[in-house]
């Protein structure tokens, strides 16, 4: 019996379509788990910290992601590759779903290749599959919701509303970005024939399932006096102004500029094409979600989890066009090559591929990032690296400095000394390396650390202050004993380190006044 027959005998179907899919999956895994990295970045360190304090909710993060990270830490440890395995697996699932959506739209091999190519050459998709961030969970559950809707529209089997409800509920336990999809789908239903599903039991049962699944987090939000809502209100004020033009230009830029014709044709396919009109729900959902994002001044990437279905629609439309026009397939093949080249060019600015100094030279030379520029979604300036890369540097050096200051104190004084940081990044960086340097867990008034409290901090105790520019108004006695600096880090993290002896106000009062529910 030859190898092919042996594989068939255990139930694995060999086909060109599956070989293509496996090839894209292998490529994705190679990119996501590529051994070059600059270490964990600020948000990843924060999420790892949350995973060490499991709860039904956190100020800025729903509970599902920290729970999953805790499982991965238990199984595989805390190496960068081990921790990045989960988002890589999510990426594989999204690729499989994208291929299945293309098939449900009637696409053949050609359309599948084009849609999958758009996905793996997307800067955003590469970023989501190679980092521990809750957007990775968001993209996964949006994809599962979209596929449930595709199955609903192609079969008219109302049971898929139940699946949709499960994935919505799990998505809300990962990120509230799922609310945008709910809004878009409901509004699109009002303007399409799918409005009749409002009268079905399965639709409302799916909604109840979603509500039940997210209810523990909602209860936690109430119990913590709506700090989560306070955070999101402040977060909206901290982001850069979102205009109609910047919203669409950022989508074009960060999804790979050369993929724009594909997803634009996907919109056309859903809204105007005779065959694609049965999936008009997706085109209208994109319009409604875009509108509410701009009105609410959310971030442009909120809508990006919708792109697998847009790429699928555009790929199917192009495949049908090439079948009708002689020679058109050669043009599309040439276009696919250009799309791939563009993806390879932008990849080093999305995912570490070179040593850091080479990355700086490359990104400036190619015009992918200008040192000293402002973040496109925030209001502060960067240094020599993009924010995600810069946020990977300086944490261990900072912790080493704090450890030296801590152990230079008399042993008796150390017992009443706390490490206080200005923000969650500094706290999480020190917390991650605290075992190595045998330090107590740092405290902070920022985000979830605020709820974890000030622990053994006392009115007359000693505090090592990290990240403050001038703590004199708060301390009875204070001196500068160090300086954090890393040439690759975000400039605002290069701050002095102070020793503070005693506070001018009661610690409980200082803690409450300094509550920081913002980024």
Note the pLDDT tens digit of each residue in 454-502: 999 999 999 999 999 889 999 999 999 999 999 999 888 888 999 999 9
Local confidence band at 13 (pLDDT 50, 70, 90 cut-offs): low
Q: What is the pLDDT of residue 5?
A: 52
Cα(142)–Cα(134) distance, rounded to whole angstroms? Answer: 12
323 pLDDT more than 60: yes
Q: What is the pLDDT of residue 237?
A: 73
Within 10 A of 98 (CB to CB), how many other CB atoms are there?
A: 28
Q: Which of 263-272, 373-382, 439-448 has the lowest mean pLDDT?
A: 373-382
The pair of three-digit structure tokens given for residue 400, joined into one six-digit string: 């080493």
**Which residue did the predictor score with more confidence, 409 or 375?**
409
Q: What is the pLDDT of residue 331?
A: 82
376 pLDDT more than 60: no
The pair of three-digit structure tokens given for residue 463, joined into one six-digit string: 């505090």
Q: What is the pLDDT of residue 519?
A: 80
Is 496 in contact with 482 (CB distance < 8 Å)? yes
180 pLDDT more than 60: yes
Mean pLDDT of 14-20: 90
The pair of three-digit structure tokens given for residue 45, joined into one six-digit string: 């360190």
Local confidence band at 7 (pLDDT 50, 70, 90 cut-offs): very low
Cα(264)–Cα(274) distance, rounded to whole angstroms? Answer: 16
- Strand arrangement, sheet containing 475-483: 443-444, 417-421, 462-466, 496-503, 475-483
| Backbone Cα Rg of the chain | 25
- How far lies 15's CA from each of 11, 20, 98, in Å? 13, 9, 18
Q: What is the pLDDT of residue 368?
A: 76
Is 60 in contact with 135 (CB distance < 8 Å)? no
- How far lies 132's CA from each of 53, 86, 93, 282, in Å? 17, 8, 16, 28
Cβ neighbors of 245 (< 8 A, separation 6 or more) are: none
Local confidence band at 327 (pLDDT 50, 70, 90 cut-offs): low
Q: What is the pLDDT of residue 98?
A: 98
Question: Which residues does residue 478 pair with via DSSP β-bridges, in sequence order?
Answer: 500
> What does the DSSP 8-state code read for residue 476?
E
Q: What is the pLDDT of residue 10?
A: 46
Cα(374)–Cα(194) distance, rounded to whole angstroms? Answer: 44
276 pLDDT more than 60: yes
Within 10 A of 355 (CB to CB), how many other CB atoms are there?
A: 10
Is 497 in contact with 402 (CB distance < 8 Å)? yes
Local confidence band at 171 (pLDDT 50, 70, 90 cut-offs): very high
> What does the DSSP 8-state code read for residue 370?
-
**CA nearest neighbour of 279 among 125, 156, 143, 112:** 156
- How far lies 375's CA from each of 240, 382, 390, 462, in Å? 9, 7, 12, 36
Q: What is the pLDDT of residue 69?
A: 97
Local confidence band at 3 (pLDDT 50, 70, 90 cut-offs): very low
pLDDT tens digits, one per residue of 20-61: 999 999 999 999 998 888 999 999 999 999 999 999 999 999
């Amino acid at each position: 019996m030859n190898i092919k027959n042996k594989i068939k005998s255990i139930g694995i179907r060999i086909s060109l379509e599956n070989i293509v899919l496996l090839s894209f999956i292998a490529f994705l895994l190679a990119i996501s788990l590529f051994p070059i990295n600059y270490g964990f970045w600020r948000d990843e360190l924060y999420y790892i910290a949350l995973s060490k304090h499991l709860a039904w909710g956190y100020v800025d993060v729903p509970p599902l992601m920290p729970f999953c990270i805790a499982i991965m830490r238990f199984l595989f440890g805390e190496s960068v590759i081990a921790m990045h395995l989960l988002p890589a697996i999510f990426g594989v699932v999204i690729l499989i779903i994208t291929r299945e959506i293309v098939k449900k739209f009637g696409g053949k091999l050609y359309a599948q290749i084009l849609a999958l190519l758009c996905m793996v050459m997307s800067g955003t998709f590469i970023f989501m599959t190679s980092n521990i961030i809750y957007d990775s969970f968001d993209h996964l559950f949006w994809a599962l919701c979209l596929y449930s809707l595709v199955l609903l529209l192609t079969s008219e089997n109302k049971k898929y509303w139940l699946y949709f409800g499960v994935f919505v509920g799990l998505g809300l336990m990962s990120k509230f970005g799922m609310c945008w999809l709910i809004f878009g789908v409901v509004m699109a239903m009002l303007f399409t024939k799918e409005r009749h599903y409002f009268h079905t039991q399965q639709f409302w049962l799916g909604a109840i399932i979603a509500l039940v699944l997210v209810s523990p987090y909602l209860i936690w939000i109430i119990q913590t006096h709506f700090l989560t809502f306070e955070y999101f209100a402040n977060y909206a004020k901290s982001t850069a102004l979102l205009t109609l033009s910047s919203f669409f230009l950022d989508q074009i830029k960060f999804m790979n500029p050369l993929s724009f014709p594909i997803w634009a044709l996907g919109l056309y396919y859903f809204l105007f094409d005779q065959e694609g009109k049965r999936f008009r729900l997706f085109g209208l959902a994109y319009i409604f979600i875009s509108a509410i994002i701009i009105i609410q001044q959310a971030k442009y990437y909120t809508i990006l989890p919708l792109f697998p279905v847009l790429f699928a629609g555009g790929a199917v439309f192009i495949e049908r066009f090439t079948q009708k026009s002689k020679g058109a397939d050669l043009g599309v093949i040439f276009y696919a090559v250009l799309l791939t080249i563009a993806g390879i060019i932008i990849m080093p600015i999305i995912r570490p591929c070179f040593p850091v100094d080479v990355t700086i030279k490359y990104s400036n030379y190619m015009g992918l990032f200008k040192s000293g520029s402002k973040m496109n979604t925030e209001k502060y300036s960067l240094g020599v690296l993009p924010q995600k890369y810069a946020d990977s540097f300086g944490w261990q050096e900072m912790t080493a400095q704090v450890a030296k200051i801590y152990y230079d104190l008399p042993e008796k004084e150390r017992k009443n000394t706390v490490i206080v940081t200005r923000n969650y990044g500094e706290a999480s960086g020190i917390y991650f390396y605290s075992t190595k340097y045998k330090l107590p867990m740092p405290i902070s008034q920022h985000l979830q650390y605020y709820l974890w409290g000030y622990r053994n901090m006392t009115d007359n105790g000693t505090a090592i202050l990290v990240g403050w520019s001038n703590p004199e108004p708060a301390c009875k006695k204070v001196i500068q004993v160090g300086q954090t600096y890393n040439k690759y880090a975000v400039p605002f993290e290069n701050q002095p380190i102070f020793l503070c002896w005693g506070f001018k106000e009661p610690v409980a009062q200082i803690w409450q006044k300094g509550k920081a529910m913002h980024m």
